[in-house]
Amino acid sequence: MDFLFGSRSSKTFKPKKNIPEGTHQYDLMKHAAATLGSGNLRNAVALPDGEDLNEWVAVNTVDFFNQINMLYGTITEFCTEETCGIMSAGPKYEYHWADGLTVKKPIKCSAPKYIDYLMTWVQDQLDDETLFPSKIGVPFPKNFHSSAKTILKRLFRVYAHIYHQHFTEVVTLGEEAHLNTSFKHFIFFVQEFNLIERRELAPLQELIDKLTAKDERQI
Amino acid sequence: MMSSRTQDADGASIRFSDHTLDKATKAKVTLENYYSNLVTQYGERKQRLAKLEAQLKDESLSEAQRQEKRLQHAQKETEYLRLKRLRLGVEDFEALKVIGRGAFGEVRLVQKKDTGHVYAMKVLRKADMLEKEQVAHVRAERDVLVEADHQWVVKMYYSFQDPVNLYLIMEFLPGGDMMTLLMKKDTLSEEGTQFYISETALAIDSIHKLGFIHRDIKPDNLLLDARGHLKLSDFGLCTGLKKSHRTDFYRDLSQAKPSDFIGTCASLSCSPMDSKRRAESWKRNRRALAYSTVGTPDYIAPEVFLQTGYGPACDWWSLGVIMYEMLMGYPPFCSDNPQDTYRKVMNWRETLIFPPEIPISEEAKETIINFCCEADRRLGSQRGLEDLKSVPFFRGVDWEHIRERPAAIPVEVRSIDDTSNFDEFPDVSLEIPSAPIPQGGEIAKDWVFINYTYKRFEVRNLE
């Protein structure tokens, strides 16, 4: 696969300007501390001694896909064409879908439709034996790293949409500690290996700063 | 993505459908297990590396040789990571034969298509198991037990699920189970009994040391490997599911003596046919009993049915019942129905009787009585295995090396997939009953099922 990374990014990621922040930000911060007490996640994301970097990135990418898919699955009742007519992460950010293959020009669509396209696309990537080889001994392709970056960048958008638009439902379902832990793990992982550009993380920067403030690498 | 488009009538409060609540519970349990396992696996990986480094220091190796071993170890860890992200499914295995049937599913001999390795696959129907929300809890417990000492516990390599079933991929033990052995032999000698009871005791002790109670020790759950040595199986997954294993089943019964209670020989004329008839009746019904979802409380300690709670001692009681069955040909409290068995269990002081026509040594009799008595006085309840080591019946047992010595009864196995020590199950379909593919609409995207996946490090060592 050949990704026109730079040009696609400018087309699918469109920050809006001069729109005031909503009250969701306050709700996010109020519950940001809740996690599952899962030990030091910064240690957990570090590449183990002697491990192959691509294999480590691959197994974690699969895990994050499963987690965010499961978490989003719990609020699909409330993420509808009516409530989320556009894929957004707060009032300043919205995303349009394009995968560069079947959909070359970014299309504006509802959040449930966008996320369905996204999850299906990620699943297709994970099922692609040339990209994520399953047989022992088959090496990863040269473009694996950039492909993984694209996958993780897009998965981040699902976290961003959930936090900004559906956090009330998450809290009411008692899932905020689970979402926070998964997201914190995700952020530590992408930071460790520089897998998502900082500007892509902007919709949740305050939350990221708060969640990641305490954990430092332990020797 | 499947989504139910429910419109909120009341904007001030959120109403959740049952479907959403179910998914939320599943997501929470799965994530809790994931992060618990993350910490565990992180520690285990460090431990494996530390163990390797310790080995390398002891051996007189050149630095080049040490580096080679480090690379080999790292490659194994990488292969394990790759294995972890694969989605295993029923289609990865070929079913060769049905070798067992339980109350909630069957066991098949299967071969993994890509490696050719032979395993035992246990298929459990979700609909018959605990509520779905608890499947992960049950599975988490099981995953912990998978770390038990594999001298004494059946090794589980993989677990996965689909919408209909749970699948457990275990090592195949070609020797069959103790129930089948007893059905062939009727009774065992005291030497044979000593051997199997000693090995079962070591197995029970090993899981008690991990903080677990098996709670379902019985001959069907004692498996024999290719060398005739014993391993425990079936931890926790089906515990308490059979109706007769739960207190509720007996709520309306008094503990009055059972209707077929025969009292002592002094009060009735005992004929040699009585114990023989009981043994034959037990044997005739044994297979059906194992498959029944009603089951029997024959092996369950009395305190399990009381409101007072129970502890590890209940497993030692079960061992005493098995010991009696090995020597007598039937368990001490067997009856025509579970209610009468229950009454006998609860009145064990009067109903635990040794028929005079069957020879048994005083040492063996005393040992059984010491296993089947009050929980706080029971053999094994104080210091576990140490209690047994000083008992005359176990004189001569080489507790440290019993597994390396020849077994009491050799197992004849002609090939790696020999199933001659198992019954035939012509009425069970060889084809694995799995979820039908939905018609018409889009196929459900059940991406989360690999979160129930378990894979054992070292599986590649089989090659």
Query: What's the CATH number where B165 sits?
Result: 3.30.200.20
Q: For position B237, what pLDDT does the model report?
A: 40
> Could you give the CA distance from residue B369 to residue B64 in angstroms, rounded to a whole number?
61
Query: What's the CATH number where B305 sits?
Result: 1.10.510.10
> Could you give the CA distance from residue A98 to residue A108 in angstroms, rounded to a whole number?
9
Q: Are residues B69 and B117 in the same domain?
A: no
Q: Where is the domain boundary, B65, B83, B101?
A: B83
B213 domain-assigned: yes
Q: Are residues B65 and B126 in the same domain?
A: no
B1: nearest CB among A78, A116, A185: A116
Q: Chain B interface, mutation test: which of A55, A175, A189, most B Cβ atoms within 10 Å? A: A55
Q: For position B264, what pLDDT does the model report?
A: 41
Q: For position A35, what pLDDT does the model report?
A: 67
Q: For residue B236, say whether it is annotated as part of any ligand binding site.
A: no
Q: For position B116, what pLDDT does the model report?
A: 85
Inter-chain residue contact A120 with B445, CB threshold 8 Å: yes
Q: Are residues B29 and B130 in the same domain?
A: no
Inter-chain residue contact B447 with A50, CB threshold 8 Å: no
Nearest CA in chain B to A115: B1
pLDDT in tens, A92-126: 888 988 877 777 778 889 999 899 888 989 988 88
Cα of A204 to nearest chain B Cα, Å:
21
> Could you give the CA distance from residue A42 to residue A51 in angstroms, rounded to a whole number?
17
- Give contacts of A50 with chain B, Cβ < 8 Å: 49, 70-71, 73-74, 77
B14: nearest CB among A76, A134, A169: A169
Q: For position B338, what pLDDT does the model report?
A: 79
pLDDT in tens, B311-325: 888 889 999 999 998
Q: For position A94, what pLDDT does the model report?
A: 85
Q: Are residues B447 and B388 in the same domain?
A: no
A181: nearest CB among B31, B445, B460: B31
Q: Where is the domain boundary, B26, B50, B83?
A: B83
Inter-chain residue contact B1 with A72, CB threshold 8 Å: yes
| Lookup result for tokens 């047989």 | A135
Q: For residue B278, say whether it is annotated as part of any ligand binding site.
A: no
Average pLDDT over residues A70-77: 89
Is B418 labeled as catalytic in the residue annotation?
A: no
SS3 A17: coil
Q: Are residues B230 and B349 in the same domain?
A: yes
Its domain, for residue B57, covers 17-83
Short-list B20, B461, B169, CA closest to A70? B20
pLDDT in tens, B115-137: 787 888 878 767 666 544 445 43
B233 domain-assigned: yes
Cα of B452 to nearest chain A Cα, Å:
11
- Give contacts of A70 with chain B, Cβ < 8 Å: 23, 26-27, 30-31, 447-448, 451
Q: Are residues B94 and B204 in the same domain?
A: no
Average pLDDT over residues B13-24: 75
Neighbours of B184 (CB within 10 A): 10
Q: Chain B interface, mutation test: which of A64, A173, A219, most B Cβ atoms within 10 Å? A: A173
Would you mind telling me the total number of residues written for chain A in this entry?
Answer: 219
Catalytic one among B216, B234, B340, B387?
Answer: B216
Inter-chain residue contact A175 with B42, CB threshold 8 Å: no
B5 domain-assigned: no
Cα of A167 to nearest chain B Cα, Å:
12
List beta partners, residue B97: B109
Enumerate domains of chain A plus CATH numbers: 56-211 (1.20.140.30)
Judge contact between B312 and B387, C-beta under 8 A: no
B72 domain-assigned: yes
- Give contacts of A44 with chain B, Cβ < 8 Å: 38-39, 42
Inter-chain residue contact A169 with B2, CB threshold 8 Å: no
Count of the separate structural domains present in chain B:
3
B407 domain-assigned: no
A175: nearest CB among B27, B45, B114: B27
Q: Are residues B166 and B314 in the same domain?
A: no
Q: Are residues B35 and B152 in the same domain?
A: no
B35: nearest CB among A79, A119, A181: A181
What is the predicted ipTM? 0.84
Q: Are residues B249 and B300 in the same domain?
A: yes
Q: For position A28, what pLDDT does the model report?
A: 56
Q: Are residues B200 and B344 in the same domain?
A: yes
Give backbone dihedrals phi and psi of A87, rounded to 5 degrees, phi first.
-75, 110
Cα of A11 to nearest chain B Cα, Å:
25
B335 domain-assigned: yes
Binding-site sequence positions of A for Zn(2+): 79, 84, 161, 166
Q: Are residues B144 and B248 in the same domain?
A: no
Q: Cα dist. B188→A9, B102, B193, B217 in Å? A: 76, 25, 6, 18
Inter-chain residue contact B17 with A77, CB threshold 8 Å: yes
B35 domain-assigned: yes
Q: Is the pLDDT of residue A3 over 80?
A: no
Percent of chain B with pLDDT over 70: 68
Inter-chain residue contact A135 with B114, CB threshold 8 Å: yes
Q: Are residues B371 and B386 in the same domain?
A: yes
B267 domain-assigned: no
Between B47-56, B144-153, B222-231, the lowest mean confidence (pLDDT) is in B144-153
- Give contacts of A189 with chain B, Cβ < 8 Å: none
Neighbours of A83 (CB within 10 A): 16
B6 pLDDT band, cuts 50/70/90, is very low
